[in-house]
Structure 1
Amino acid sequence: MITPERIMAWAIPGFFVLIAIEFAVARWRGRGATYRGNDAINSLGLGMLSQIVGIFTKVFGIGVYAWCARHLAPWQLPADSAWVWISGLLLYDLLYYVFHRASHRVAVFWAAHVVHHQSERYNLTTALRQTGTGFLLTWVFYLPMALLGWPVQVFAVIALIDLLYQFWVHTEQVGKLGWFDRVFCSPSNHRAHHAVNERYLDRNYGGILIVWDRLFGTFIEEDDTDPPVYGTRSPLQSWNPLWANAEVYWALAKDAAHAERWRDKLQVWLRPPGWRPADVAARFPKPAFDIAHAAFDPPLSRMLRAYCLLQFALLLLMGMHFLGLAPKLAWPMALAYALWLVFGLYVLGALLEGRRSALWLEAVRVLAAAVVPLASGRWFGVAHLDERIGVAMLVVFGFSALALPWLGGRGWLHAPPPSSSQGALPG
């Protein structure tokens, strides 16, 4: 039986191979700006955060679906039938279109989905930039499949297939594909979807098939005379992965609190993104969107960028270890490991923003990673850690700790530009 776990076991290495190929092709073509290290780290870190959150929130998706399919569906479709899989994929893709369109047209859904659109670059790491809060409401859109009897194991694999298909369309290295663009979601079609240009807003929602957009009037072709500009119309201006997930919720909550009428307090969440009650907009105006605004890129030295890249690679390895180990851990230990990883992502984000206070947090992080495993012989649920691994962690993270005073004391850190304060957590 094909399982999501087996699919992902093959897919994850493939992601990084394809990212490396795309990076090399972009450089060879003289398109070095396709990638920026800080942006790629932020996107991959948000993907990692999404997977970590998913360990604890599966009940909101698969769990609810399984219960509805078992107790509310009038029949169960056979999981070994080819037509069940094919028709299920078509229905799922249609429901994905509905979900995706709602995620751009209803503010509370946009609050979760916005994470995927925050990057001001468009490359394969953007595909892995996923929300950590989608579990709250996304499952609602797929209940029709449960009520119509598609088995949960079929649904889980189909959902993953639909998601994995969308990985390759997040690239600027593939041009228009003729007839393929008219039927399927393609790189050209999806570039238009990610653009903030006026002509491209709220278009091309299809996951695998773009025919849904053609049927429902939301299709637009990428125009070579109007190249897509990526990001959101309220730029994130931060590398903080926690704030990336919280920023729109916080903005909506503030507008709801400031609104005088109870009706407006509700409409803030249900109207399209950007809608604000007249009284709130008058008292708390926001600057108009400027498509030519400078991309968020705090100045950092090459040494500090290299340090952050190395630490992120190590954190990514720990994240993969966590994902493999988590199902076997008691939930308090799994939660502790998850919080450790999230703390690491937060600290690296702060370092990439050039925040000097992050040096102290990073020192705590790397010293703990250097000393605790060798001293205790344990590492988050691994009761008997191989001594060689403990020594390796001592060496790698010990040298990292020694490098921090040098990085901070030689002027390698620079204060972030004033605009970055927009990405700081309130308070």
Structure 2
Amino acid sequence: MEILFDQMPNPFTYFVPLFFLLIAGEAYISYREDKELYSLKDSLASTWVGLGAAALNTLTKAYQIGLFFLFYKLFEPLRVEYLGYENLGWAWWVWVLCLIGDDFNFYWHHRFCHTIRIFWAAHLVHHSSEKFNLGTAFRNGWTIFMYKPIYWIWMPILGFNPVMIALCMSFNSIYQFFLHSTLVPKIPVFGQIFNTPWVHQVHHACNVEYLDRNHGGILIIWDKLFGTFRDKEVALETKFGVLHPPTKHDPITLNFHEFNDIWKDVKSVKSWRAKFMYVFGPPGWSHDGSRKTSKQLQQEWMASQQLTSSKEEKAELVA
């Protein structure tokens, strides 16, 4: 069975009414219980950014699928010659492998968005809100669609149908919508394998302890395997947003201000190494140490915690 690109269903069409219904319900609970989960300015920013992202995603969909089909067809003779098959087909187990492969790709794409500054510039808008609600899920960068498919190229090369890959990417995005809420408690067994709103709050937090953690989409096992998992601590107040929030909240500023800052930093130094690091180094890197990366901030935090603990132990001994 082959599904052509122009025949591909759009799963989002069926979920949009549910999305808005859940957002309305969450906003009502916030109002009734005075939780302040929403604000008008923040919600308007999320709406405009989300509309722009949806339009750009639609416009670039053909490019993404076309890129997948290019590698799918280009490597078909090699698959036949060396692997003994034209493509992997549409069996249920291929769907399972595709979903797992897609989530694996998303983890690394997402992780590099937090550790390489030029990619962070494209992704930062998703973390720019100081509120954490279902509406935040629509804050997607306008430039991220241009390079994101690169992480998925190996899948059409192996013979996964491009339409299947695109659908799995859509399912992943749909699942992630439900992660953006503080109203869902910790889910003990399910949360050991799958990503949940509880641990996704850690990912959106700007607490130093929580920076660059929990990058998974559907599965949280990637973070556990690759050392980026961090559970949420009940006793620690979670602060949402970014360490250096933008001064304006219009969609243009939210999407492009970090690119502008990168350009300023590149022009400010003469060293080609420093120029390279300002683009491809970790966010927060600076040639003169005036700013700090998340790892440096966490090392300082850990050192301060150890010092505090040492002082408390000495005080107990004296007492």
TM-score (norm 1): 0.63
Q: 2:315 is matched with which residue?
A: none
Q: Aligned partner of 2:172: which letter?
A: D
Which of 67, 70, 75 in structure 1 is aligned with 2:70?
67
Which of 5, 16, 20 in structure 2 is aligned with 1:16?
20
User: 1:48 aligned to 2:28?
Assistant: no
The Cα of 1:60 is off from its aligned counterpart by 4.0
Q: Aligned partner of 1:145: which letter?
A: M
Which of 23, 39, 54 in structure 2 is aligned with 1:36?
39
Q: 2:311 is matched with which residue?
A: none
Q: 1:332 is matched with which residue?
A: none
Take 1:157 and 1:6, find their aligned partners in 2: how far apart are those partners?
8
Q: 2:234 is matched with which residue?
A: 224
CA deviations 1:78-132 (Å, max 9, x no partner) are 4421111110000110111111110000101101111110011000000111110
- After TM superposition, list the pairs within 5 Å mapping 1:14-413 onto structure 2: 14-31=18-35, 33-73=36-76, 74=79, 75-278=85-288, 281=290
Alpha carbons of structure 1 residues 228 and 60: separation in structure 2 relative to 1, 3 Å: farther
Take 2:255 and 2:285, find their aligned partners in 1: how far apart are those partners?
20
Take 2:153 and 2:241, find their aligned partners in 1: how far apart are those partners?
31
CA contact (8 A) 1:79 1:154 kept: no
The Cα of 1:6 is off from its aligned counterpart by 3.5
The Cα of 1:255 is off from its aligned counterpart by 0.4
Identity %: 32
CA deviations 1:199-226 (Å, max 9, x no partner) are 1001001100001111111111100111
Q: 1:383 is matched with which residue?
A: none
Take 1:159 and 1:267, find their aligned partners in 2: how far apart are those partners?
31
CA deviations 1:374-414 (Å, max 9, x no partner) are xxxxxxxxxxxxxxxxxxxxxxxxxxxxxxxxxxxxxxxxx
What secondary structure does 2:177 align onto?
coil
CA deviations 1:277-306 (Å, max 9, x no partner) are 228x59xxxxxx9xxxxxxxxxxxxxxxxx
Unaligned 5+ segments in structure 2 are 80-84, 292-296, 298-319
Q: Aligned partner of 2:25: which letter?
A: I
User: 1:7 aligned to 2:7?
Assistant: no
Take 1:106 and 1:254, find their aligned partners in 2: how far apart are those partners?
17
Take 2:139 and 2:120, find their aligned partners in 1: how far apart are those partners?
15
Alpha carbons of structure 1 residues 83 and 247: separation in structure 2 relative to 1, 3 Å: same
Take 1:78 and 1:145, find their aligned partners in 2: how far apart are those partners?
10
CA deviations 1:22-65 (Å, max 9, x no partner) are 1122223331x100011011112101101122233234422211
Alpha carbons of structure 1 residues 42 and 199: separation in structure 2 relative to 1, 3 Å: same
The Cα of 1:4 is off from its aligned counterpart by 5.8
CA contact (8 A) 2:12 2:174 kept: no
CA contact (8 A) 1:4 1:160 kept: no
CA contact (8 A) 2:65 2:163 kept: no
Alpha carbons of structure 1 residues 150 and 26: separation in structure 2 relative to 1, 3 Å: same
Q: CA RMSD in A?
A: 1.9
CA contact (8 A) 1:116 1:129 kept: yes
Paired residue total:
281
Take 1:240 and 1:159, find their aligned partners in 2: how far apart are those partners?
28
CA contact (8 A) 1:60 1:135 kept: no
Q: Aligned partner of 2:33: which letter?
A: R
